[in-house]
Amino acid sequence: MLSQAYFKKILDLLFSAFQRIKHLLKSKGANRIHSPFVFEFYNQVLNHPYNFYAFSQIEEERDKLLVLDTILEYQDLGAKKQLVKTKISSLAATSLMPEEKDVFLFQLCYWLKPKVVVELGTSFGITTAYLAKAYPSKIYTFEGISAIATEAFKVWDNLQINTIELIEGPIEQTLSVFLSGLKAPIEIAVIDANHSYQATMYNYEILQNKISELGCIVLDDIYWSKEMTKAWLEISKKPEVTVSIDLFHLGIVFFRKESQKEHFNIHW
């Protein structure tokens, strides 16, 4: 008999596949983007012609993680608080953001040149490294599991990155405390943590109050499940959001007061 969790996973995969077809049918290419700002975004971020030297360095660190058989032991952050034992290679294979998304975030950071970046969901620090290598920003990243955070520090040490500050502990406890003491506005925030509707909405609401007018929030896996899609659709319609961009795998919202409220489905 199929377990409830396995059955839910199958339903989520079918849901995501159906949403992918819908996105392909309504998405636009560059020749159908009439907003100057979004057209610049397309050319500078999505269609960026350069391949930076940092990419190969960071991907070498990813490759090491994907074959590392060291066993991590940690307490799961879910309701059952179970003890988890798993190989780093197995966890990295399922938790790391794909290279294509990491390169996108690098190019977004390179384009916007932010002073402050916040990332929710450090994992092993590969995405954080891409953000840090794009521009000399101050990167604040949040990770709930100490054993995983320790491995992320090793990655950053190997890459000689010293602009990252990791905040350890459950995000629902640490984020509000951190933001209450943050003086500078956030230019880029990346939400790649708990993929539930409730957690996504909480993270968005608490972050958007600290986002610069010229900044943005990036949400990962917006069609991962019905919950994530519900959160994305609600966020993209928020009155403070003026430009929302649906790339299927990622959603980006901007808060530019000079822009008219528009939503874009872009083929990527």
User: Is 165 part of any domain?
Assistant: yes
Give the C-alpha separation, 2 to 229, whole Å. 25
Q: Is residue 78 domain-resident?
A: no
Report the CATH number that the domain containing residue 135 is assigned in CATH: 3.40.50.150
pLDDT tens readout for residues 238-262: 999 999 999 999 999 999 999 889 9
pLDDT digits (tens, 9 = 90+) for 90-114: 999 999 999 999 999 999 999 999 9
Alpha-carbon 98 to chain mean position: 11
Q: What is the mean pLDDT of residues 119-135?
A: 98
* Residue at 127 is within a domain: yes
Q: Which residues pair with 243 in a beta bridge?
A: 254, 262
| Domain assignment of residue 81, yes or no | no
Tokens of 68: 């590392």
pLDDT (tens digit per residue) in 80-96: 678 889 999 999 999 99
Question: What is the tally of structural domains in the chain?
Answer: 1
pLDDT confidence tier of residue 217, bands split at 50, 70 and 90: very high
Residue 48 domain-assigned?
Answer: yes
Q: Is residue 91 part of a domain?
A: no
Assigned domain for 169 exists: yes
Residue 2's pLDDT is 53
Per the structure, the complete domain to which residue 192 belongs is given by 4-66+96-265
- Residue from 261, 118, 258, 244 nearest 189 by CA: 118
Residue 108 belongs to a domain: yes
Task: Tell me what pLDDT residue 22 has.
Answer: 87
